[in-house]
Structure 1
Amino acid sequence: MTLPYPLKFQPEFKERVWGGRALEKFGLDLPEGHIGEGWMIADHPNGTSAVVNGELAGKGLDEIREAYGREWFGSKGHSEASGRFPLLIKLLDCNDNLSVQVHPTDDYERLPKGELGKTEMWYVLEAEPGAKIIYGLKEGVNRESLRQALEDGSVMELLQEVPVSAGDTFYIPAGTVHALCAGVVVAEIQQNSDTTYRIYDYDRPGLDGKPRELHIEDSLNVTAYEGAGATSMKTDGAVPGEWLRLAVSPYFIVEKGIVNGSWGLETNPESFTVLVVCEGSGHLLWEGGSQPYSAGECYLLPANLGAYTIEGQATLLRSYLP
């Protein structure tokens, strides 16, 4: 019988027209090209990450799910209905602006078969001076004015731009118009979905030299014109040994923690825990084992792991199911 232990995965890397090479800073071995996304913990038809440590090395997250299901993912984390692991954990390198986009809710009738909606949150790991994001529509924008702006090329005038710096966090419920812009690296925790509707893409060609597809009608349909409840915050107030809550949704809770020495914690049988190491290094310890960790790594802690300790000097994100 395999005893539960913190799982580390080989990321699935995605080349994007807006990507770069910044993820190499985390010691990740990138393939050639403009790498925009590292799918760090993924169980999706478009990308599945495989375990690289311990007894289960070489097995995909889908295989782990099928073999250990409810026991390792928790009573909330194992769904007979949707099957897949409920979250997708990414690191994003925005060497250029991403398209202006919006995501649907779970109940959108035009969702691809088997797909979920996409509520997500960002934690800014790095931001160049002057970096910004697009975060929501300006007040008073409705479907008609957005459509008109898309037709006459003035859509950027209807969007809110927000300056960003490292440590900022943004909660992006489905229906929120948004875009990461050049000069930021973020950790993204999201529903396990790969459905994005592009509203505007700066009239640039894709990696194949052809214009990238826009999804105007779907975007107009799913946009929450009165707001979907997006929230943002600075996280400078985080103190060692306490969790600072960053985002609460029906799909995930995300908290920030600072490790300064040794921090004893425990998993919950209702949900797995995902740890994203934002800064620093140290060791994860649990009954029967230990694992060194460093910035840019992500770990899936099974719900039945029990007591564990994080040692070192580090800044972490902790995600679990509500």
Structure 2
Amino acid sequence: MLKPVKLKPAFQDYLWGGTKLRDEYNKDCDFDKIAESWELSNHKNGQSIVDSGEFKGLKFGEYVEKLGAKGLGTNCDSFEFFPILIKFIDAKGSLSIQVHPDDEYALSVEKEYGKTEMWYVLEAEEGASLYYGVNKEISKEEFADRIKNDTILEVLNKVEVKKGDVFFIESGTIHAIGAGLVICEIQQNSNTTYRVYDFGRLGADGKPRELHVDKAIDVTNLTPNAKSAEPMGELEKFDGYTRVLLSECKYFTTLKYEVETKAEVEIDEKSFNSVIITEGNGKLVMGDTELEFIKGDSIFIPAQNGKYSVEGKCEFILSRV
């Protein structure tokens, strides 16, 4: 049996971050602002660290090498790199208006995959909102003019947000997370972002942050494509827990579990499982391995035929490829 392991995140201190990941999600970090914690990451810009078992202390990439392809699952065989990245985001301030390329463009220009992502809203202050796609069809020329003239917000789809909302952000969809939101993001393993508009802010060096207008014009979908902020599946009820499908695409499948007492989860050789604890505490049990967890913890379960249980009163997000 390949044993599950706990992970410690890599942190990012972008200027719009806050303190909720430390104060409410138990993140141990010395940054004044914790904008993001990369809970499951094998990316060059920040790797998770194994925090339990015989491989404790290894970078996640080193652990994956020791684990081998079998431990990632057969569904990962078609990906050149580890396929997904999962993070918490604390947006005390609004993020920039931005867009991510698809695989074809990103691999040719940036030498990494594109970025399709999913957001699950963990917290939303009253009146919090985000931008998601355009509100009318526009031409590339109008898009460029509005970026230049600082009127781009007029043609973006602005959506009020509440706790529990789900947004599927396909590559090419212009978007921005607004102030007052805490989000769990499941995404392709990519950090390629084309910034379109930054509200006139200055970076840590006192200068405006770089925009990537030409690339954004190349990749942005300028036709409305917003989808409703709802899970994809119906709520399923079991003895001791409920489960709902949040999102499913060729890159990842994500489910949310609410556990009153105990949830039994089956795993197979097709994909690893990532378990992100979003509320409560308890323990994950697989064979003779028991991992206690609290809110904010991340657990990685290698691909294999078997099952594990999540015990306690808690909520978690399960992701697989």
TM range (shorter): over 0.9
Alignment of 1:173-322 (within 5 A): 173-227=170-224, 230=227, 232-233=229-230, 238=235, 240=237, 241-304=241-304, 306-321=306-321
Kindly indicate whether residue 168 of structure 2 is the aligned counterpart of residue 171 of structure 1. yes
**Residue 239 of structure 1: how far off its partner (Å):** 5.3
Q: Output the CA distance in 2 between the equivalents of 1:99 and 1:142.
A: 21
2:16: which partner in 1? 18
* Runs of 4+ residues deviating >2 angstroms: 109-114, 226-232, 234-243
1:56: which partner in 2? 55
TM-score, normalization: structure 2?
0.93
CA RMSD of aligned residues (A): 1.9
Kindly provide the amino acid, as one letter, of the partner of residue 34 in structure 1: K
Q: 1:78 to 1:49 in 2, by over 3 A?
A: farther
User: Which residue among 99, 115, 118 is the counterpart of 2:115?
Assistant: 118
2:147: which partner in 1? 150
Alignment check: 8 A CA contact 1:69 1:78 kept: no
1:107 match: secondary structure: helix
**Residue 175 of structure 1: how far off its partner (Å):** 0.5
**Residue 119 of structure 1: how far off its partner (Å):** 0.4
* Structure 1 portions without partners, runs of 5+: none
TM-score, normalization: structure 1?
0.93
Q: 1:112 to 1:295 in 2, by over 3 A?
A: farther
Q: How many residues align?
A: 317
**Residue 276 of structure 1: how far off its partner (Å):** 1.3
Q: Output the CA distance in 1 between the equivalents of 2:50 and 2:77.
A: 19
Kindly indicate whether residue 103 of structure 2 is the aligned counterpart of residue 106 of structure 1. yes
Q: 1:228 to 1:66 in 2, by over 3 A?
A: farther
Alignment check: 8 A CA contact 1:16 1:207 kept: no
**Residue 88 of structure 1: how far off its partner (Å):** 0.5
Q: 1:318 to 1:217 in 2, by over 3 A?
A: same
Cα distance per residue 1:214-236 (max 9 Å; x no partner): 00011111011225675531699
Q: Output the CA distance in 1 between the equivalents of 2:233 and 2:121.
A: 12
Q: 1:237 to 1:30 in 2, by over 3 A?
A: farther
Q: Output the CA distance in 2 between the equivalents of 1:242 and 1:183.
A: 28
1:255 match: secondary structure: strand
**Residue 41 of structure 1: how far off its partner (Å):** 1.0
**Residue 68 of structure 1: how far off its partner (Å):** 1.6
Kindly provide the amino acid, as one letter, of the partner of residue 10 in structure 2: E
1:307 match: secondary structure: strand
Q: Output the CA distance in 2 between the equivalents of 1:109 and 1:298.
A: 28
Percent same amino acid among aligned pairs?
A: 37
* Structure 2 portions without partners, runs of 5+: none
**Residue 178 of structure 1: how far off its partner (Å):** 0.5
2:129: which partner in 1? 132
1:179 match: secondary structure: strand
